[in-house]
Chain A
Amino acid sequence: MMMPRREFLVAGGASLFAAACRPAHMLGIDSEVAPSFCFGSPTEREIDLASHLLNRCTFGARPGDRESLQSLGSTAWIETQLNPQRLEDTEAERMLRRFPTLQEPAGELYEYKPRVLLRELVCGTILRAASSRRQLLEVMVEFWSDHFNIDIGKGDCAWLKVADDRDVIRAHALGRFLDLLRASASSPAMLWYLDGRVNRRSRPEERPNENYARELLELHTLGVHGGYTQRDVMEVARCLTGWTVRPSSGFGKGRVEFHPHEHDDDAKTVLGRHIPAGGGERDLHDVLDLVASLPETSRHIATKLCRRFIADDAPEAAVDAVAETFRMSEGDIRQTLRTLLTRPEFVSARGTKLKRPFHYLVSVLRSTDALTDGRSALSDFLTSMGQAPFQYPTPEGYASGAAAWERTLIWRWKFAAAVAANRVDGTRIDVDQLIRRAGGEGLLMAHVLGRQPNATEQEAWKATGGGASGLALLLASPAFQRC
């Protein structure tokens, strides 16, 4: 049933081959002929620094990734990843051209059906994570998508989340936190999701809607123990009254506007700071500037970053250092990551985290150099594993820690078995070629595991008969669930 590779590509499949690894005749695009073996499989029995960086800062090592990391050196590699605009990314960009909705301005998105938008957004997200060379950017996009979670199922988010993903999350994922926060606060999707659009006070007896104000303090900035009170929530809500989104019926749909007559323009006090009367739309910026600059925010963001990159139980010393950089650099995300990724706690915490389902699924595609169209079969698996992108219902986003995801093993195994046997629609793996390109079964195992296989793994591989069954077992193994 398997299509010849060339036909599959013509039929709309997309290759995840590292450009340098792709034999020219296969795609007829790159003139460079690839070296025969370019996996650069690890030789150590434990996860080395290169594998560790690929585990934590990318969605998995594609064939050749280790080699390029090692030839650059880890410091330079991190620097390249922190400056994604310097990395050409034509392969991912070419794939994304298939999804015109992702480029539509907010107002135009209403011309499409919600299920088309969701499909293209999820598909685009999977393909970017799987094929973009700007991996740390994609990892941070996932991080901020949870931090500023929006459930695409709520009201007009069905249309507007596409713009939020592009103009808020992607635009600022490696930029300044304050810019990200400002973009999010005036994102039409966020105004919908957390009811900011109906937060108004045209008459003194009208009570502001506190939903966004609370989550802004609790989730987006200070953190739940960030020292604010219910009174602060109410005062922030007052500051933000009057911001709304044009409804989907009529002219200018999806446009964000400030309605002065719906704004509470009296004086407020937020976290001890006086906000004078008559501020109008400036109140929003005053509030965001204030909360973004507070040390509680630095600590909250640093803790979440350390949980994502180091350990579920974030080490104090690392949190302190990362928070300090965040504060000193005024929320420069790249600067903050630079500190984090060179911390000894980061360097030593190898293979200890559980990949979340999205990370797991994409790492399967990347490590096996799968050809994929990114379509619904993959998002169906993510739904079974409990991490359907952009569909987490409540504002805190998908959980970071292992405890929330341990119960998804059965679906990971199922995916491993199905994908290795080429039983996932729209995704193909050529196991024999993988083994050949890696330079043998042992080297393929080392590439997938990020270290030399141990005795149990080698025996298990042999006992399955190797090939597609061996690969399925490897992808289902505990080591591959971790990063």
Chain B
Amino acid sequence: MLSAFSPIRDDRRTLVVLFLRGGADGLALVPPVGDDAYHRARPRIAVAARDAIRLDDRFGLNPRMAPLESLYREGQLAVVPACGSEDDTRSHFAAQDFMEHGGADVGGGWLGRWLRQRGSAGGGALTALAFGTAVPESLRGAPSATALRAFSDLGLGAAAERLTPHLASLYAADVMLADAAHDALDALNRLASLHESSYLPANGAIYGNDDLAVELKRLAQLIKTDLGLEAACLDVHGWDTHFLQATSMEPLMARLASGLSAFATDLGSRLASTSIVVMTEFGRRVVENSSLGTDHGRGSVMFVIGGGVRGGVHGRWPGLDDDALVGPGDVRVEQNFRDVLAAVLARHGNFRADLVFPGYRVQPIPV
């Protein structure tokens, strides 16, 4: 019975999905500083080549993302520019919906379908978590999905001590439910041992005090507790930068990068069984607008960290010359988000692309 919680079998991997809400500017996160067209289009807000952290001959990492540099150098960070979906509404709602459902007019969320398709491979008490107050669309249809505000949301609360010993005795005699009850009680015990205040991150990892850092720290704690967590979703808001982009985006990037870096460090060897995906609904217009911001566009960037990732910059780059742009002047989507996800999900085992992304012909990008 304890086997359900034994650590790190192949189906014991955790997928972490960070969704940057609002349409994050891929050209600011990973500026193509080697393209002249980039500097021409953004005379006032472009990242100068000398400031960027060099990824390859074309791309750099925004200097605010410096905490991710070492992961990149170690081959633990994959960067997929010109990435996005087919949805060209440039509407936050429609584009997020499209991505979270994993297509147009598809029922349920892609994570929900994936978890259900995997079946009871895990069968742990805690399959999927969303940090925040609501379960995101991507988890719709999951066998179990819970919004987590604090660890206390998971346990039995004040009643735990009074209830659990009696639950154990009542369920021990129940033929149908004894095993499941044993596992559930075991999970509750592990949860009861979780204390946020006394948690010491491993390997010298230092988390900030912002929401994302706090959530990532909790998540690292949960992953290490071996509760059978298969998927976790985190939202990072504030990427809709129409106005004074640098002012709002620089602190966001800094928190994103330092949070992820601390999380990866803290996980240590567990990073090998944890995949982290960072995605957003769309990128932004190539040309800066009159208020030093950018408007809704198409292609952005996706990041994949850990879990056996192949580091580096992946995919085709359409370029930023006028004839390469789409619509009102946006980065063409060369890499479909599903093809990135498919490569990641395949590493988590027991993945059927036709069930998770129905109606889409998956061609995994080897991230």
Contact = CB atoms under 8 A, between A and B. Distances in A.
Interface of A: 151, 153-155, 157, 192-193, 354, 380, 383-386, 388, 391-394, 402, 406-411, 413-414, 417-418, 420-421, 423, 456-457, 460, 463-465, 469, 472-473, 476-478, 481-482
B314 to A, nearest CB: 30
A409 B163 CA distance: 14
Nearest to B159: A417
Contacts, number: 138
Given A153-B107, A464-B162, A478 B157 contact: no
B158 A393 contact: no
Name the 4 nearest CB pairs between A and B, nearest first. Answer: A393-B108, A151-B107, A393-B141, A154-B107
B156 A413 contact: yes
A420 B163 CA distance: 12
Contact of B116 (A154, A388, A393, A463): A393
Contacts of B120: 407
B106 interface: yes
B144 A411 contact: yes
A413 B184 contact: yes
User: Which of B142, B163, B171, B183 lies at the interface centre, i.e. has the most chain A CB atoms within 10 A of its CB?
Assistant: B163
B140 A386 contact: no
B145 interface: yes
B112 A407 contact: no
Interface in B64-114: 101, 104-109, 112-113
Contacts of B294: none
Given A393-B141, A410-B188, A478-B171, A463 B166 contact: yes
B273 interface: no
A281 to B, nearest CB: 25
B272 to A, nearest CB: 26
B166 A473 contact: yes
A413 B140 contact: no
B169 A460 contact: yes
Given A383-B146, A413-B184, A414-B155, 18 more contacts: A155-B105, A380-B135, A388-B141, A391-B108, A391-B140, A393-B112, A393-B113, A393-B116, A394-B113, A409-B180, A409-B181, A409-B184, A417-B160, A456-B169, A465-B162, A478-B171, A478-B173, A478-B174
B187 A410 contact: yes
B125 interface: yes
A211 to B, nearest CB: 10
Nearest to B180: A406
A469 B179 CA distance: 24
A341 to B, nearest CB: 23
A391 B174 CA distance: 31
Nearest to A414: B156
User: Which of A460, A476, A481 lies at the interface centre, i.e. has the most chain B CB atoms within 10 A of its CB?
Assistant: A476
18 contacts: A154-B108, A192-B105, A380-B135, A380-B147, A392-B108, A392-B141, A393-B107, A393-B116, A406-B180, A407-B180, A411-B144, A413-B163, A417-B157, A460-B170, A464-B162, A477-B170, A478-B174, A481-B177
B107 A383 contact: no
Contacts of A380: 135, 147
B123 interface: yes
A7 B94 CA distance: 41
User: Which of A154, A392, A414, A463 lies at the interface centre, i.e. has the most chain B CB atoms within 10 A of its CB?
Assistant: A414
Contacts of A469: 159, 162-163
B137 interface: yes
Contact of A478 (B101, B109, B162, B170): B170
Given A391-B140, A406-B176, A460-B170, A151 B181 contact: no
User: Which of B107, B154, B167, B187 lies at the interface centre, i.e. has the most chain A CB atoms within 10 A of its CB?
Assistant: B107
User: Which of A402, A406, A464, A481 lies at the interface centre, i.e. has the most chain B CB atoms within 10 A of its CB?
Assistant: A406
A424 to B, nearest CB: 11
B170 A153 contact: no
A216 B172 CA distance: 43
Nearest to B175: A478
Contacts of A464: 162-163, 166
B176 A386 contact: no
Nearest to A409: B184
B145 A384 contact: yes
B308 interface: no
B34 interface: no
Nearest to B156: A417
A386 B143 contact: yes
A409 B346 CA distance: 30
Contact of A407 (B101, B123, B142, B170): B123
A418 B157 CA distance: 8
Contacts of A414: 154-157
A468 to B, nearest CB: 8
B165 to A, nearest CB: 8
Nearest to B355: A394
Nearest to B173: A456
Contacts of A154: 105-108
A109 B159 CA distance: 43
A463 B169 CA distance: 12
Given A386-B143, A407-B144, A464-B166, A153 B184 contact: no
Contacts of B183: 407
Nearest to B359: A195
B158 A421 contact: yes
Contacts of B108: 151, 153-154, 391-394
A454 to B, nearest CB: 10
B176 A407 contact: no
Contacts of A384: 144-146
